[in-house]
Chain A
Amino acid sequence: MIQTIGDCLVITKRQLMQLIRVPEVVIFATIQPAMFVLLFRYVFGGAIASGVQGGYVQLLMPGIFVQTVAFTLAGTAVGLAEDMQKGLIDRFRSLPIARSAVVIGRTLGDSTQNIVTLVVMAVVGFAVGWRPSSGVFKILLAFLFLLAFGFSMSWIGVLIGLSVREARVAQNLVFISVFPLTFLSNAFAPTTGMPRVLQYFAEWNPVSTMVAACRQLFGTPNHFGATANSWPSQNPLWMSLIYMALIVGIFLPLSVRRYKHASSK
């Protein structure tokens, strides 16, 4: 057991070493969300009536945080698909280590990388007027929540990465599935403007419940949410926790199973 944890950490360390060895990756990984913050803040911020004190950026930041950590899935999927293609997964599988170590280490590493990204975004957000008002403890809790969500999304990425044959396929698959998911939500605009069916979808979308939960923890009223008095919009914190547990509960065993039979050929 202790050995397995050690093995996981070696793989996690590998993920984090990549940040040091290829700083370009971190720089681009942080420029993109920072750019999103600025674009949304100044393009949509003027057009969308937020109705909260401090303006649109207060609602935007939780939305953009959640979108960013949701895309952890992309990094995991593409990274694992590349490892498969290069035969690195074969090598790991020929080593005397637990079958779960490589995938757990990977998801831990990918979600830890989010810390850097989130810090940069928070600083940029603060610079353009984001002022969470709930107090240090709740703010930290919100970030913890975001990291946990990134970790659970990463498990979906594992299954995708180990199932596709090419990294490019993983990239496209992730993009066309996660991008709509983050927009069919309360992250950037009120859901009330959507067609009725999409409103319901947005209501139950894990991205929405996460955004609502973060807004709650940052002390911002969730003006973009509540279109119906559904349970998820009333209890976003609990609903998000349930979603995360569900995602990990389903995708972790599937991923480990997949890894056992993964083969580069």
Chain B
Amino acid sequence: MRGQGLAALGIVGAMKSVIAENLSKTYRNGEVKALDGLSLDVEEGTVLALLGPNGAGKTTTVRVLSTLLVPDSGHASVGGIDVVKDPDAVRQIIGLSGQYAALDETLTGWDNLTMFGRLYHLSGAATKKRATELLERFSLTDAAKRPIRTYSGGMRRRLDLAASLIIKPKVLFLDEPTTGLDPRGRMEMWGVIDELVKGGVTLLLTTQYLEEADQLADDIAVIDRGTVIARGSSDELKSQVGGERLEIVVEAEHLAEASQLVARTLGASHVNEGMRLITAPVNSGSTSLIQILRAFDEAKIHPLDIGLKRPSLDDVFISLTGHVAEEVVADDAKTAKKKGRK
């Protein structure tokens, strides 16, 4: 908020709430490079999504920024405070919600929130007030007196998030906030995070879901093998891959004819014989679609499937890294295990 005020006065540009410069971290005596010269920044009051497959270095980045891990080299600051030199001051202004709901399962939601409140050194009365507020806000009031082990996955994550908001942190870190949730839980979590963002919190979140980054973040940093390989808004990243394209699936016997038809109508076409799929870049999406349908109708070809596709962030990832995210997951499962053995 302060940054925005100053910016409005024209004194400084937008304040950077989080800055990481050239962070490196290796595990197991250099065998596993978790971070390899990673740099990023988050402007105050904005949301940055760190997007990448398992083992890309997302969690390690969050652990460094939230003072849990000291980097081998590089600098990082949160709220203008150096995370290595003054970790205690950083801990006063951050909230962290990790990959797993980090709660005491035997205690109730209320017990957990009040415990964390006291550990943030709020007074007894302030702790109770804040816990009540947070439970209300995350629709957990009814479950407050139940032990966490009776909670659903989504409820756990919401309470975990609530615990990280006890002190109204200046910077919030969410490490894969929806991993492992069912679609409904994910939607609920998105709603909750969206509201936080509207409230003006500075947020750095990590995710493997391209859709999630698209949905929640102002800015996306694509991360692969410990370094940021692309940075921009969702639209900017998508435009790197190109605009819309038409995708048509037809019966195998019509494939050649249909492909010629598409090439004649739209100027170009690409055929994937195995999938019986014809793709073509288009400029004016719906007009092209109508043209093609008309041409097909005249030629008596009935497409099995036809549609306009905007490039997904999956496409972005492939075009940036040259490999599919899933392949890296398999690859890095070993890396992740290695890290575990540290």
Contact = CB atoms under 8 A, between A and B. Distances in A.
B111 A95 contact: no
A14 B120 contact: no
Interface string A251-265: 000000000000111
B68 A90 contact: yes
Contacts of B342: 263, 265
B91 A94 contact: yes
B107 A86 contact: no
Given A91-B96, A93-B68, A265-B340, A21 B106 contact: yes
Interface string A188-217: 000000000000000000000000000000
Interface in B295-342: 336, 339-342
A85 to B, nearest CB: 8
Interface residues of A, number: 26
Contact of A7 (B91, B100, B119, B339): B119
A10 B115 contact: yes
B63 interface: yes
Chain B interface bracket (under 10, 10 to 19, 20 to 34, 35 or more): 35 or more
Contacts of B24: none
A265 B96 contact: no
A118 to B, nearest CB: 22
B3 interface: no
B177 to A, nearest CB: 13
A86 B336 CA distance: 17
A71 B69 CA distance: 32
A177 interface: no
Contacts of A13: 115
23 contacts: A6-B121, A7-B119, A14-B107, A14-B111, A17-B107, A18-B106, A21-B106, A25-B106, A86-B101, A86-B102, A86-B105, A87-B98, A87-B102, A88-B102, A91-B102, A94-B66, A94-B67, A94-B68, A95-B91, A96-B120, A263-B63, A263-B69, A265-B336
Given A18-B106, A95-B119, A95-B120, 8 more contacts: A7-B119, A10-B118, A14-B107, A21-B111, A25-B106, A90-B98, A91-B163, A96-B121
